[in-house]
């Protein structure tokens, strides 16, 4: 269960990591091969009435950028803990690679333990950019399409540009998101993403999960926080 929980959380985190460029209030992606970001993620989750505390460090490295702006990021997990205990042998699950479009749309996830729940997790935390210039309070939306090959299900993401903010001493832009699968009783994720103003990497994410699927475990609800450490 530890490994399956980790790969599910990692998929969600990976889809939200923005190697982005902000020009005024116009958001656009500008990843470069070799870019590396490291995050500490924590989660307090409910699984069938049982409280689970999970933490890990995730490292994200851009390994490929296409001429059209699509890019691939390799993700690795380390320092996994479940209810304060180290995961067996301390290694965690095998790494995975995710390919996103220039706007942040999920194209594919590759890895040893990737299944339909990884795609659903990733789609629930997508941050898809808009071409329009944004002022505080402006909103935009993105529709996730069902894909029977990958197991992705239909969902809708709504975003609101909150405005300038700070994460500790870091100047940032704050965006609110609500992402829900459209089927009755489907999973949802909602919260906030902060982008660093100096280079527009994601510096923080806070999310409330409801019935989010984890492979081999089942639907999980709770609070997830991701913070940039390097």
The pLDDT tens digits of the residues spanning 122-153 come to 899 889 999 899 999 999 999 999 999 998 99
Q: Does the pTM exceed 0.85?
A: no
Question: What is the structure's pLDDT at 18?
Answer: 45
d(CA 9, CA 53): 12
Top mean-pLDDT range of 16-20, 122-126, 153-157: 153-157
Question: What is the structure's pLDDT at 22?
Answer: 40
Phi, psi (rounded to 5 degrees) for 47: -125, 105
Mean pLDDT rounded to a whole number for the chain? 84
Instruction: Name which residue leads in pLDDT, 19 or 6.
Output: 6
Question: What is the structure's pLDDT at 6?
Answer: 52
pLDDT for residue 113 is more than 80: no
Instruction: Name which residue leads in pLDDT, 59 or 48.
Output: 59
Question: What is the structure's pLDDT at 200?
Answer: 74
Dump pLDDT digits (tens) for 54-76. Answer: 899 999 999 999 999 999 999 98
pLDDT for residue 52 is more than 70: yes
Dump pLDDT digits (tens) for 162-220. Answer: 999 999 999 999 999 999 999 888 899 999 999 888 777 889 999 999 998 876 677 88
Query: Alpha-carbon Rg of the chain, whole angstroms?
Result: 16
d(CA 98, CA 109): 4
């Amino acid at each position: 269960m530890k490994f399956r929980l980790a790969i599910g959380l990692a998929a969600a985190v990976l889809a939200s990591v923005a190697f982005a460029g902000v020009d005024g209030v116009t958001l656009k992606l500008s990843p470069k091969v070799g870019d590396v970001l490291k995050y500490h993620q924590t989660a307090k989750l409910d699984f069938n009435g049982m409280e689970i505390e999970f933490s890990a460090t995730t490292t994200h490295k851009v390994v490929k950028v296409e001429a059209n702006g699509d890019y691939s990021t390799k993700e690795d997990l380390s320092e996994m803990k479940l209810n304060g205990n180290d995961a067996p042998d301390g290694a965690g699950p095998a790494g995975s690679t995710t390919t996103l479009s220039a706007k942040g749309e999920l194209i594919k996830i590759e890895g040893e333990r990737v299944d339909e729940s990884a795609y659903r997790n990733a789609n629930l935390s997508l941050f898809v950019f808009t071409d329009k210039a944004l002022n505080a309070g402006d909103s935009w939306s993105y529709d996730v399409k069902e894909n029977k090959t990958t197991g992705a299900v239909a969902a809708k993401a709504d975003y609101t540009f909150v405005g300038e903010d700070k994460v500790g001493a870091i100047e940032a832009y704050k965006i609110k998101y609500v992402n829900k699968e459209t089927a009755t009783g489907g999973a949802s994720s909602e919260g906030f993403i902060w982008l660093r103003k100096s280079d527009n990497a994601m510096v923080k994410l806070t999310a409330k999960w409801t019935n989010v699927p984890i492979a081999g475990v089942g639907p999980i609800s709770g609070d997830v926080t991701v913070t940039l450490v390097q």
